[in-house]
Amino acid sequence: QGYSEPGAGSDLASLRMKARIDGDAFILNGSKIWTSFAHHSNRIFCLVRTEPDVKPQAGISFILVELDRPGVKVEPIVSLDGEVEQCEVFFDDVRVPLDNLVGELNQGWEIAKYLLEHERGGYSYFAAIGKQVNQISELASEYAADGYRAFDDPVFVRELAEAEIDRLALKALEERILDGAVGEDAGVFASLVKVIGSELGQRVDKIALSLLGPDALPVQNGSLSFGYNGVVRGPDSGANIANRYLNNRASTIYGGTAQIQRNIIAKQLLRL
């Protein structure tokens, strides 16, 4: 996904990557950042500026680009834990056929908004958080950090119960959207689900972190990978908790920050 740029993230309409028409092709110049797993990909879709002298949103187009084209350079971004998930992609006079344009010229903003609605609402936070709650419940009933079980702590039990209640409420909202009960404004409900789900997920991450006590301190690299079988500190089933806590800090940023989603909800749903 080639949306964000070094100077255009939350304010995506200020993007600067340009595409000009030269015969039967577009010539692309600029860069994209925070492109997940671009170093493992062979294609990217990009929002590019094709008309500079109009309202920012009106001069953007949606173009497909093969990453093996001359002039494309993918630079992995190594995070603090040594893992690579994000990349920066540079485009230097990259020639792309006109046929790679999706939709009409300068229609890219509408296409991007449509895709973002599906990105925000197409993820089942209810199911993902449920898996975390089950993991926490199992650990809390068996694991004793500093000599006591978390389930013997009434504060911990209350926090976990409140999170589970909120998760069930989120399930009801997700089911209403799937059933079409929200009508034509389903797009704004995707923003609502993203805000509630991402923030609830972070709450549950904190609960899990408190459960492990000092055993949550080390970040166990690779523990989020499928089939991880490294030596861990603390219970084996809790090896990914610290990594997940850190990784999920971005969940209220990617796909549109929680603050931007609240603005969308205020304007489109509450009519403020």
Percent of the chain clearing pLDDT 70 (strictly above):
85
CATH of 122-269, one of 2.40.70.10, 1.10.645.10, 1.20.140.10, 3.20.20.80: 1.20.140.10
Q: Give dist(CA 171, CA 18) in Å, integer.
A: 42
pLDDT of res. 44: 95
Average pLDDT, the chain: 85
pLDDT of res. 157: 92
**pLDDT tens string 100-113:** 999 999 999 999 88
**pLDDT tens string 159-183:** 999 999 999 999 998 888 777 755 5
Cα dihedral sign for 132, 201, 251, 139? negative
Q: Are 106 and 61 in contact (CB under 8 A)?
A: yes
Annotation says 119 is catalytic:
yes
**What residue spans define the domains of the chain?**
12-105, 122-269
CATH of segment(s) 12-105 = 2.40.110.10
- Please tell me which residue in 83, 119, 159, 199 is annotated as part of the active site: 119
Q: Give dist(CA 109, CA 105) in Å, integer.
A: 10
**pLDDT tens string 82-134:** 778 899 999 999 999 999 999 999 999 999 888 877 676 667 888 889 999 99
For residue 74, give the nearest of 39, 123, 35, 43 by alpha carbon. Answer: 39
Range 178-201 burial, b when 16+ CB lie within 10 A, else e = eeeebeeeebbbbbbbbbbbbebb
Regarding predicted confidence, which is higher, 196 or 215?
A: 196
Q: Give dist(CA 39, CA 87) in Å, integer.
A: 7
Percent of the chain clearing pLDDT 90 (strictly above):
42
